[in-house]
Amino acid sequence: MRMRPTLSWTSDEEPPPGTTDLEPVAEALRGGGVLILSGAGLSTESGIPDYRGEGGSLSRHTPMTYQDFTADAGARRRYWARSHLGWRTFGRARPNAGHRAVAAFGRQGLLSGVITQNVDGLHQAAGSDDVVDLHGRLDRVVCLSCGTFSPRRELAHRLEAANEGFAPVASSMNPDGDADLTDEQVGDFRVVPCASCGGVLKPDVVFFGEAVPPQRVEHCRTLVREARTLLVLGSSLTVMSGLRFVRQAAGAGTPVLIVNRDATRGDRHAVTRIALPLGSALTAAAGRLGVHVPAHAADATAEPA
């Protein structure tokens, strides 16, 4: 049976209202030791849609689950056809003002770390160091048989060669780089095996229904314990993957600040939620601190096919 990921949450109490006052964020950054936890909302200004915001992809699309991917060759063919097409757009995404502001804060020594739920690599492309990719990176591929890792761009070239002329028009793209295609558009798309052992290839990302590696979770918990403030950027915190760190911080008395236009599942654990667009909000916070946010970032993303 196809697992349906968590689409929404229902609060059992009236959520606190959002504010437009950026001073709590600026004040936290002035004190340093801020740990960033970012979600899909940070990348929407780079052209990557989110899951649960207005018009989010989960309203029309069920992401691939680990169980379906590993058990069903037909599901893998559909996934790789859609993902291969989506990579042509996803792989060209570039950091926006929000990513560049986070990198600028890091260069000024104001951050203790960055944890991202995104798989797009845009924090690193903007210049952030020591980013924990909680859910992995879409620009890397792993073999489920021999464990060999390889760059996504290499797989893209192999898929191009195996599917000459494959160029359907997708109705939309999703946050995981998966383009919406019909079964007819997928057609007889050919999946290629691991070049080392012939095994099944999977993007090095955590699918729905798959657990985040325990050592990665523990590393994040350590970062939360050591942080002075947890600053959540663009996450609804609907799933436990990110919410657990908010609960951990709040339980330890560490202030939690959230910048997200819509209410989140973590609002009741936060000191405040700032309901502003992320790019402009973070740039404005940087201005209050005298931190320069460059207009463009050094590009370190994987090259698209």
Residue 47 counted as an annotated binding residue: yes
Q: What whole-number distance in Å separates Cα of residue 305 and Cα of residue 94? A: 15
Residue 41 counted as an annotated binding residue: yes
Residue 57 counted as an annotated binding residue: yes
Residue 119 counted as an annotated binding residue: yes
Residue 145 counted as an annotated binding residue: no
CA pseudo-torsion sign 205, 207, 211, 217? positive
Which residues, in sequence order, are CB contacts of 177 under 8 Å at separation 6+? 83, 86, 87, 89, 90, 91, 119, 120, 138
Residue 40 counted as an annotated binding residue: yes
Cα→Cα distances 91→7, 177, 225, 283, 299, Å: 26, 8, 34, 25, 12
H/E stretch holding 224 reads helix 214-226
Q: What whole-number distance in Å separates Cα of residue 135 and Cα of residue 119? A: 6
Which residues, in sequence order, are CB contacts of 184 under 8 Å at separation 6+? none
Residue 21 counted as an annotated binding residue: no
Which residues on neighbouring strands pair with residue 274, listed in sequence order?
Answer: 19, 259
Residue 185 counted as an annotated binding residue: no
Residue 280 counted as an annotated binding residue: no
Residue 38 counted as an annotated binding residue: no
Residue 180 counted as an annotated binding residue: no
Residue 108 counted as an annotated binding residue: no
Catalytic residue positions, numbered:
135
Q: What whole-number distance in Å separates Cα of residue 78 and Cα of residue 64? A: 10
Q: What whole-number distance in Å separates Cα of residue 291 and Cα of residue 293? A: 6
Instruction: Give me the helix-helix angle, 152-162 and 73-90, nearest 10°.
Output: 110
Residue 220 counted as an annotated binding residue: no
Residues of each annotated binding site for NAD(+)? 39-59, 117-120, 234-236, 278
Residues of each annotated binding site for Zn(2+)? 143, 146, 194, 197
